[in-house]
Amino acid sequence: MKMPIPLRFIGFDTYEPHINMAIDMHLLERCESDPSYGYLRFYGWTKPSLSLGRFESIDVVDTDRAVKDGIEIVRRPTGGRVVMHGDDLTYAVVLALNDNMQLQRIYKAVSGCVVCGLNRLGLDLKLERGRLGKTDLAMKPCFASVARYEVSREGKKLVGSAQRIGRNAMLQHGSIPIGKGYLMVARYMRCSE
């Protein structure tokens, strides 16, 4: 899929968790008010952090343990489930929407670009053909399941992604683990009763 508008690339940098989310919301708001171009941003986190999806309950996280360990908890403007950051490469894609754009196609196109880029590094990744829609894993972290058009290898999710749809623009987040730090999310999850 050819991007319908030019993307402005924002160079890699690391920020505090709440600053990362504020920057992404600012880019979405800018694209809402001026849809002549979108944004592509790659970034890191100054410290290990948990990000919750926009509608996810804080109850999925053991906040006392996280605070004790110095893990900051932040709310993403996009959906999805809890992700551990700090040992990952995070990206944000912001695009203006028009009547001809289907959100599922955009999600697939962005994920396809990630697959293409990572495969050029020698990985053998693909887009998952799995089911579409919500899962019954509300108390599980993002990387615990694979949904349609997510990046996977041998049935395991390798890139977590989520979207937020505005009036005239959309934001798609993604987290690409660099090391195994993302697995630390299990330490901060509450077990379902």
Q: Which active-site residues does the annotation give?
A: 142
Residue 38: CA atoms inside 13 Å, Cβ hemisphere, count? Answer: 20
Task: Kindly state the DSSP code that residue 46 receives in the 8-state scheme.
Answer: S
Helix (H) or strand (E) holding 103: helix 103-119
Contact between 82 and 141 under an 8 Å Cβ cutoff? The reply is yes
User: C-alpha distances in angstroms, 140 versus 81, 116, 135, 152, 158?
Assistant: 7, 28, 10, 18, 16
